[in-house]
Structure 1
């Protein structure tokens, strides 16, 4: 069992700044600065980042640096990519070693399913166009990646490598080829490295299953070729069951540079050859997905249609199939794809969490991967995107074989979330991490019905992406009690202050606008700061993260490292102590919760809110417009620190442009304070301060 965590695999540095922890989100792609003399090279930027944050969501792309910090990598446990990447490749090899059916790691539709997909991601083209994973040209004993068009010579051979079995080829050529099928043989040589094998504990404990398949020989197969509109379509009479093998030719591993093949991906291969010279323009597989206007048809799989149980529904079996509503020829064709709800350029399959053996291997993958990268843990993205209608809008069919329920409903999504929680608990058990995280932005987990308590309790850390913005207004602050409920569970949170909707968005070339947005963001963060439990991150208005240089759209100067520009390092270096209760004589701010048609309120000094334990925030009013309601339309919220004070002036409404132009408001302070300026210097000691609309300030107690 591998132990992960700060102090277990690596020593932890002391907290960088005195009053709060800080963090980066998805650093990487470092560049040499162009317009600052403080840092010279891309490596300088990387080293600066390593020294100016305590926590990383992502990776520093260097295991030794990762181990010096608390580094929470990226995970998306509920999906595997349609085009195999390292996780699915490693898992397919590990499943073969363990004698487990890898296909059971996916969820499958039991009947032909039509999903609403107004706009398909380009990543689905891999399947819609029947693209091979890789193609190798053998000529005169040399291997090369096939590049089209090709002038095929009679002695040439073309190897097609596929990540799934198939039965039909589409070829643009003058002449149809002869086809040979790759037949695997079992042998005692592992496709995964010794280091990987050590991570696969279930494989180690069962040495009798340590067998792997390599390509033993080629076997000729008959192909029924039909010429159609400029291409040949060939139906192959393959030998079944057609088992997967490793990507090797004549005992030689195929060194393509593909990470998936290097990780031991199990593949299916055919060899094509021509008796005469011909021009070859393309080779692909007949796709099984059908794109309709605004929808995607995914065929269903029913094992009852596969009469001889060889994993393939032949033509004769298809014509007499018992379940006419399931038309998949291979089981993999029925995998769930959240058709219209994927990121641009991606294609995903939904993972099955109902198989204990594969869950164990899947957890082993994370143990191996985190160890290789030097990670402390990982954060699971898009945890609200499971099997509900935010991922699957079913127009027809939709029955999931493994769950015996139709996709797109709240109940199946909740059940799937409970399975996911059990899997993540297994990941924690195998890795011994205390840094399992989730990206939830401003989602309130006590309100979201699709997120069971088990999924909330299994997580240790929360990424609150774009949680705070300069012009967020009072109404959002009133309902942000859930951050303090998560803290009461002893959880940690990264709270991001972004500049979305701030002054810098209206006057992007004005340095003062950017610095005021950053200062306001830090003041807002200090309203939520809980030492040893929260981490601060300052970012621009976009969702595109990284360590590259600024441009004219996200800073007033081009060529400045982004994290260096956005983190107010000098301000953070000023010690304002820890949060303390409000001073006597000041009215306390209330939280407001509106849920299920009911409204609840409680003071921010409370430790309970509607039956939920919370850590007191201790916000109080330094100024407010009227006392007739607990929720004024305009005011200055404050929070006392042992050596400082933070303020935020706002109206209830967010992003009101006219309010940013309102006259400054002078408010009295509960003592003598010095304003912490953007460069870290302190203003003169004062007992009052002027605040413009949507402005936050950080103050240091005057000696």
Structure 2
């Protein structure tokens, strides 16, 4: 009876949905593979293609896809989307949307959020991507010479008969240039098909100003200085364009010829506003730009607000007369596009984004169609939406003045605005799911616990199928954070899946970057930590270095102890994953459950509920804890049992205590006989105890009892 009873306990497996996977005990994932290199320091691979083929066969799900339609269709390839933004400088997606909106009779401007009043934002670290707007960079410059087209690269000497066509992705009312004289200007006319019908001469009011060394305009004026030609001492010609009738954008086709020299956006259907410049005599054109309307000064960005009431004749432009008589003096935008929301308070380096609006149903339909088109084109099963915690809250908009939104009855940078926007985003993503029939809509939420993040409404949580927990696990994670990390089990209870990323950040490899053992111990610890959260069929493992830069290229001495080997190949502990440790089981008799903590509420990790939130049981237990009676000890060793293995992790309560990485190893008794699984998949000697250093985890394989068959029922 003793053997039978122990067998029943060992065989009481947790009930999980069946799911085919590459490795026996868990799923595996890649995050943004790509940029494959030919290996330089291993004979395991001969070519770049060998690396790519290996990756395709060693993960169950791939975030970002494999950049190969056929390979993507043979796996679960989840693409990348950022549905709440469009680039300030239009790319392929914006061009496609622009074209489809035009064909559907939808105003593309309805796809953007706008400020209803002049707004001042704090910008501590301005992104260079904003130069497109701050410097008034043309979208494209085309040189027409002898009826041939080429890209106009300034500075440029123009002959009589030459023409330069400036393409703008937004309507404009002024140009600035540095040249020998003022040009003749014509703007495009648009025919009923949306193409260029011809060119209409524009009346221009020209003025001159000196461009001296002390001029504040010099640092922001793109032109010949970047080509080694100084603009000092030259004059800026400013041309204010007469705007009598509505000026419509057009596709770059004129007299059955495409007005383009390789610009991707123009090739993919972007409609633009075009200005043709020509000089009667030989002229040196040193610089040319659209006069900027945005102002960045002392780390503050001023964005003008738009009020339709100020545009009294409804032509889309507030003229000088209308501006002087405008009923709303708190809104100074001349065009509606000038009031678009730019999350300038917190943008990625090198980017410039507009915040998308989800108010207009017709535009939402066009927008959702883009994802169906794009996923079919790439062979994707779905996509993951990045930065889902960055919407309209203060983490994106630090408002000093103004901030009132046109599309919502709130101000940017507030929780109310972010919450309402999140509900609209949820409705839009539900539309995308219905249109694409995907069950793999994902979101990157990193360490955020959605039950603690008030901005996220239930609707947005419910629409997501798969969660990316970027850099969720680190070697020095600490006990307190582990004991508060119950949300993965709540997401799984709701039927959601998670990709959980283990990072080496803050581990032994930072103390000894040239040590192979330090790197391997960090990766072993990462897998051990992951196995604490593993729910077969619901979770996927990804192992990475200390950075947020992903890809499949070779290692350097900054991210591995040896350079020239494929990153994913060394970061994924393939040998360890191939060892079958079974599935998670109950806490063994005689051991106390680790306690979850949720804002003062407590529950055992074997429980199925905390604070009225349903959970899947985790069944973590203590092998050691200082004091032995406290639920949240200063130091401890936690464990989780599998049907064929065990995982353990030693830590102190606090995270990232570097001194604890150097702590003296502690001998810990084990609930049975086990072998340690090493980084390469080899097994250590059978043992009934293990020595663990500070912030160290280990994955163990159970030594089978001879002539004993373990049976039991799942639940």
Aligned to 2:286: 281
Q: How far off is 1:364 after superposition?
A: 0.5
Aligned to 1:78: 84
Query: 2:237 & 2:108 partners in 1: Cα distance?
Result: 32
Q: Within 5 Å, which residues of 2 pair with 1:63-212?
A: 63-187=69-193
Length-normalised TM-score, structure 1? 0.93
Q: Is the 8 A contact 2:114 2:406 kept in 1?
A: yes
1:239 shift after superposition: 4.8
Match of 1:645? 646
Q: Secondary structure at the match of 2:346?
A: coil
Is 1:610 aligned to residue 611 of structure 2?
A: yes
CA-to-partner distance for each residue in 1:484-535, whole Å, 9 max, x for gaps? Answer: 1111111000000100110001100000000000001000000000001100
Match of 2:196 in 1: 215
Q: Is the 8 A contact 2:183 2:277 kept in 1?
A: yes
- Cα distance per residue 1:611-645 (max 9 Å; x no partner): 00000000011222222311122221111111111
Q: Does 1:401 align with 2:410?
A: no
Q: Report if the CA contact (8 A) 1:307-1:317 is conserved.
A: yes
Q: Select the residue among 438, 454, 472 that pairs with 1:449.
A: 454
CA distance, structure 1, for counterparts of residue 337 and residue 661 of structure 2:
56
CA distance in 2, matches of 1:163, 1:305: 23
Alignment correspondent of 1:354: 359
* Separation of aligned partners in 2, 1:148 and 1:675: 65
Which of 13, 22, 36 is equivalent to 1:16? 22
Correspondence for 1:526: 531
* Aligned partner of 2:540 among 520, 528, 535: 535
Equivalent positions of 1:33-52 (< 5 A) are 33-52=39-58
Gaps of 5+ in 2: 1-17, 211-234, 705-715
Residue 417, structure 1, aligned to residue 422, structure 2: yes
Post-superposition CA distance 1:182-234 (Å, at most 9, x none): 011112xxxxxxxxxxxxxxxxxxxxxxxxx1111111111111122111111
**Contact 1:215/1:251, CA 8 A, preserved across alignment:** no
Counterparts of 1:28 and 1:511, CA distance in 2: 25
RMSD: 1.3
1:470 to 461, 464, 475: 475
What is aligned with 1:689?
A: 690
Distance 2:156 2:476 in 1: 59
Q: What is the aligned partner in structure 2 of residue 382 from structure 1? A: 387
1:702 aligns with 2:683: no
Judge conservation of contact 1:290–1:296 (CA < 8 Å) in 2.
Answer: yes
- SS, match of residue 376 in structure 2: helix
The reply on whether 1:659 has 2:663 as its aligned counterpart is no
SS at match of 2:208: strand
| Residue 655 of structure 1, CA deviation | 2.2
Check conservation: 1:240, 1:312, Cα contact below 8 A: no
Distance 1:239 1:45 in 2: 61
Secondary structure in 2 aligned to 1:186?
coil
Unaligned runs of 5+ in 1: 1-11, 188-212
SS in 2 for 1:426: helix
Counterpart CA distance in 2 for 1:117 and 1:643 is 54
CA distance in 2 between partners of 1:318 and 1:249 (Å)? 35
- Tell me which stretches of 4 or more aligned residues in structure 1 moved more than 4 Å: none
Residues 361-395 of structure 1 deviation map (CA, whole Å, 9 limit, x = unaligned): 11111111111111111111111111111111222
Contact 1:240–1:311, Cα closer than 8 Å, also in 2 = no
Contact 2:472/2:503, CA 8 A, preserved across alignment:
yes
What is the CA distance between 1:248 and its match in structure 2?
2.4
The whole-number CA distance in structure 1 between the counterparts of 2:618 and 2:316 is 59
Q: Per the alignment, in what secondary structure is the counterpart of residue 89 of structure 1?
A: helix
Match of 2:712 in 1: none
- What displacement does 1:412 show? 1.2
- For 1:136 and 1:457, how far apart are their aligned partners in 2? 48
**C-alpha distance in structure 1 between counterparts of 2:255 and 2:318, whole Å:** 30
Counterpart position of 1:592: 597
Q: Distance in 2 between matches of 1:147 and 1:120?
A: 26
1:81-127 deviation per Cα after TM superposition (whole angstroms, max 9, x unaligned): 10001221111111100001110110111111111112211111100
Segment drifting more, 413-422 vs 321-330: 321-330
TM-score, normalised with respect to structure 2 = 0.91
Which moved further from structure 2: 626-635 or 62-71?
626-635
Q: Does 1:237 align with 2:238?
A: no
Find the counterpart in structure 1 of residue 207 from structure 2.
226
* CA distance in structure 1 between the partners assigned to 2:542 and 2:482 by the alignment: 18
What does residue 679 of structure 1 align with?
680
Deviation at 1:13, TM superposition (A): 11
